[in-house]
Structures are given as structure tokens and as C-alpha cells.
Amino acid sequence: MKQLIAFIVAITFITSSVIGQELNCEVSIVSSNKVEVSSLDQEVLKQLEDVIRQFMNETKWTKDNFKVEERINCQLQFQVEKIPQPGVYEGKMQVQSSRPIYNSNYNSILLNFTDLNVSFAFQRNAMLYYSSAQYKDNLTSMLAFYAYYIIGIDYDSFGLKDGTPYLQEAQNIVVNAQSSGAPGWSPDQTGNKNNRYWIIDNTLHQLFEPLRDCIYEYHRLGMDKLYENKEQGRAAIYEALNKLPKVTAARPNTINITSFILAKRPELKQVYSDASVPEKGKLVALLKRLDPTNGDKYDEILK
């Protein structure tokens, strides 16, 4: 009997160490100085942190099995700016994800986006359950959207357009949520194209295929090769970024391009720290073409 118990324990340990969910998501909720948060709201928001963390990390989003060390590192930080009525919260949320670089302890940022259209209701002791077949509530749909988008972009960085099924699931969430009338799910009438609708619409649009090609080549052919050959890795990074002018020529200043380039700015400064002056200048010129609004920020790479 003891041997049987020991065997079961061993199998359970092996299984739990090999099979796991996809995300390793850190969650934080902070309050703006502009909003007065009652002690009750503070208690609810603290519970909400735990509920979101559990939802993101314990939901099985794909059919693939992940080892613990393979989970995708990501962060969600929600800033409460309004509490229009008890149990209703409005504000913004920063969404970030990263992936490890081969033969290093470095993690490269894949996604760094601030969602300005966050609004949802949450009551104490409520739980979140996702169903792909229907829209249940705004909070669940928003979190599921980012879970699939994070997974899709991560898969894209390891295999050319391998993230398509998960990005399509994110788009389905947008379609199902549009009838709710909640902000962020539909084309903004004011012309703002920085919401969830446009992020996924752009990502899956044929015009933006060079960006998905870039994400793969930048990471697999560039960053992952720096350990073996730094010069070849940098050359691959430049060639990957050089695919993007095709997109910006047709759609300048889109959030997909600008958020990607800005997220890579500190990384590129480090990667090119020992490059020649002409090589740095060539890269900076390209980055300014891709994101002219933030052109001055890329001059740091020249230093």
C-alpha cells in the first residue's frame, strides 16, 4: 500500500511539473489620486487582484501543455480613475508580456500597451469564468482577450504566424463583446484607433503581415542568435525592422507599430551599444521613419 501511495505521489509530482497553464501573470491594481476609494472598495479591489491572477494563470487557454519554466511572463496593472457607482470601476490598464532569449537570462518585451478604455463591474466574492461561445461580462472578456493576444504574439515570436489560432480567438472575443456597448470593442467614433478593436483588427489584417514577419525574424533570427554571432544577429534584427516601412507607408502612426518600436528602444540601445557609428546611424534613421512622432527618443541609441 505504501508503495502504491508513493507511486501516485510521484506521478502527481511529475505531471504537475510538466503540465501547466500558459501564463505566469502578475496583477496589480492601483488607485489614481483623483479618485476617493472607500475602505470597502479597497477590500473589493484587493480581492479582485487575486481573482484576476487566478483567472489568468489557472485557465487553460490552449490545448498545449507548458512546463512551469515555459509559461509566458506577463503583467497587468489596472489604475482606477473613477468609481461612478458602487462595484463599477473605470480607468486604464497597462498590459505587458515578454519572452526569454536563447542562451541568456534576458527577457525581451513583446507587448507593452496601455488600454485607456477599461470599464467593468465587480462584486465581492464574484468569480470569473470564460466561455468562448458567449459574452458574459466586460471584465472576463477583456482579460480573455489579452490572454489570447499575449499567447498569440508569443507564438508568433517562436514560429512564423504560429499564433494565428489564438489571435483569431481574440478577434472572436471582440466580435462577441461589441453588442455590449462597452468601450474598447468597436471602432471609436472620435477616430481613436488605440483600442482593442483596432489592435486585433490590425494584427490580422493582410496589410500588417510584415509586422508579424518582423516579430518572428526579430526574435528567432535576431535576438536568439546574438549569443552565437552578434553581428549576424544585429543584421537580422535590422532586416526584420526594415519590413515595417511597407506598413507605415500605408498606415502611419498605428498603435501596433509604435508600441512595438517603443518597447524595443531600450533593448536596441543595449544590443547596439558596441556597434559602429554608421551601423547605429542606419538603425536610428530607420526607427525615425517608422515612428517619427517619437523620433528624438531614438537618438539615445547613438550615445
Q: Considering the chain, what is the average pLDDT of its residues?
A: 91
Is the pLDDT reported for residue 12 higher than 70? Answer: no
Domain that holds residue 242: 207-303
Q: Is residue 271 part of a domain?
A: yes
Quote the cell numbers at residue 54. 487566478
pLDDT band at 205 (very low <50, low <70, confident <90, very high): very high
Average pLDDT score over residue span 174-192: 86
Instruction: Give the tens place of pLDDT for each residue, 79-102.
Output: 999 999 989 999 999 999 999 999
Residues whose CB falls within 8 Å of the CB of residue 156, separated by 6 or more in sequence, listed in order: 162, 163, 167, 212, 215, 216
Residue 243 lies in a domain: yes
> Has residue 188 been placed in a domain?
no
In a domain? residue 102? no
- Please determine, for residue 9, whether its predicted confidence score (pLDDT) is greater than 70: no
237 is a domain residue: yes
- Is 223 a domain residue? yes
Strand partners, 107: 100
Examine residue 215 and state whether it is found in any structural domain, yes or no.
Answer: yes
Q: Is residue 81 part of a domain?
A: no
Phi-psi region of 181 (alpha: psi -120 to 50; beta: other; left: phi over 0): left
Write down the pLDDT at residue 190.
64
Residue 192 to residues 57, 115, 183, 196, 254, Cα–Cα distance (Å): 31, 12, 12, 11, 10
Name the band, by pLDDT with cuts 50, 70 and 90, for residue 37.
confident
Highest mean pLDDT among 33-42, 116-125, 203-212, 294-303 belongs to 203-212
pLDDT at 268: 97
Look at residue 189 in the predicted model and tell me its pLDDT.
61
| Pairing between β-strand 72-85 and β-strand 88-100 as defined by DSSP bridges | antiparallel
Cβ(47)–Cβ(56) below 8 Å: no
Q: How many domains does the chain have?
A: 1
- What pLDDT was estimated at residue 118? 95
Looking up cell 504560429 gives: 162
For residues 172 and 226, is the Cβ–Cβ distance under 8 A?
no
Could you give the C-alpha distances from 150 to 158, 222, 274, in angstroms and in order? 13, 21, 32
For the chain, percent of residues with pLDDT exceeding 70: 92
